[in-house]
């Protein structure tokens, strides 16, 4: 789940059977939504999720494993079941949930996913979570400004991406909505647009490097 488009209804949007998404959330909970293809999942993903969980004082982080990244061909993407299994191996602890909710709801676009989840779980304080490498290219996502206005966003530092992320079109466009890292724990309760950039120890694992190594048999 990487890209957003214009507002539209998706299959199952507005239907009451929230349990079909495979998880249960209560009003008042603070929940991070961590989307990606996780192709494959690695320690860097776990670092982002765990940092968000701790620094934002979240109750849950949901890893939303996307059906297909629109920027990549299906030949570059491993089967969903394989990517789900890899994410579960990294998302440890009862506070982490790995979900194929986008496949279940028939959504290929981030903005649709966020709106459906907000409608199905009223009263839950959602935060969109992403690595700094995603912020650097966020302006390439269709409808990225809508995502920033849909819910608060937490950006977690990633190797080699700090400068590009902090000077990206998205960071500049929403500079007025950036909150200090010291206020990270208040983010889930804020109205969008609101975002934080969180720095800390870096994890250098990447999906690209893992795929390259596996292709070469290393």
Asked whether residue 213 carries a pLDDT value surpassing 50, the answer given is no
Closest-CA residue to 64 (of 145, 127, 7): 127
Q: What's residue 24's pLDDT?
A: 92
Sheet architecture: strand order including 195-198: 96-99, 60-65, 30-36, 125-131, 153-156, 195-198, 178-179
Q: Report, as an integer, the average pLDDT of 192-200.
A: 93
Query: At a CB cut-off of 8 Å and minimum separation 6, what does 192 contact?
Result: 148, 149, 150, 151, 152, 153, 177
Determine what percent of the chain is predicted with pLDDT higher than 90: 67
Q: Report, as an integer, the average pLDDT of 163-181.
A: 96
Q: Report, as an integer, the average pLDDT of 18-44.
A: 90
CA distance 71 to 18: 29
Asked whether residue 212 carries a pLDDT value surpassing 80, the answer given is no
Taking CA atoms, 40 is separated from 51, 85, 203, in Å, by: 19, 10, 15
Q: What's residue 114's pLDDT?
A: 95
- pTM of the shown model: 0.84
SS3 readout for 131-151: EHHHHHCHHHCCCHHHHHHHC
pLDDT, one tens digit per residue, over 122-164 is 999 999 999 999 999 999 987 899 999 999 999 999 877 788 9
**Pairing verdict, β 60-65 and 153-156:** unpaired
Q: Which domains does the chain have, with CATH numbers?
A: 25-215 (3.40.50.620)
CA distance 210 to 25: 33
């Amino acid at each position: 789940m990487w890209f957003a488009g214009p507002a539209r209804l998706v299959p199952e949007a507005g239907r009451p059977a929230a349990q079909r998404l495979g998880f249960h959330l209560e009003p008042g909970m603070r929940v991070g939504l961590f989307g990606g293809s996780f192709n494959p999942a690695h320690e860097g993903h776990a670092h982002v999720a765990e940092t968000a969980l701790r620094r934002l004082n979240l109750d849950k982080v949901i890893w939303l494993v996307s059906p297909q990244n629109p920027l990549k061909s299906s030949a570059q993407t491993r089967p969903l079941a394989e990517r789900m299994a890899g994410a579960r191996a990294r998302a440890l602890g009862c506070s982490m949930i790995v979900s194929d909710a986008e496949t279940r709801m028939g959504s290929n676009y981030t903005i649709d996913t966020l709106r459906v989840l907000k409608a199905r779980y009223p009263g839950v304080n959602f935060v969109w979570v992403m690595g700094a490498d995603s912020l650097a290219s966020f302006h390439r996502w269709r409808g990225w400004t809508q995502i920033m206005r849909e819910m608060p966003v937490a950006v977690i530092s990633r190797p080699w991406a700090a400068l590009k992320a902090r000077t990206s079109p998205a960071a500049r466009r929403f500079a007025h909505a950036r909150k200090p890292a010291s206020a990270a724990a208040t983010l889930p309760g804020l109205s969008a647009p609101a975002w934080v950039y969180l720095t800390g120890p870096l994890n250098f694992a990447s999906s690209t490097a893992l795929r390259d190594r596996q292709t070469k048999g290393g």
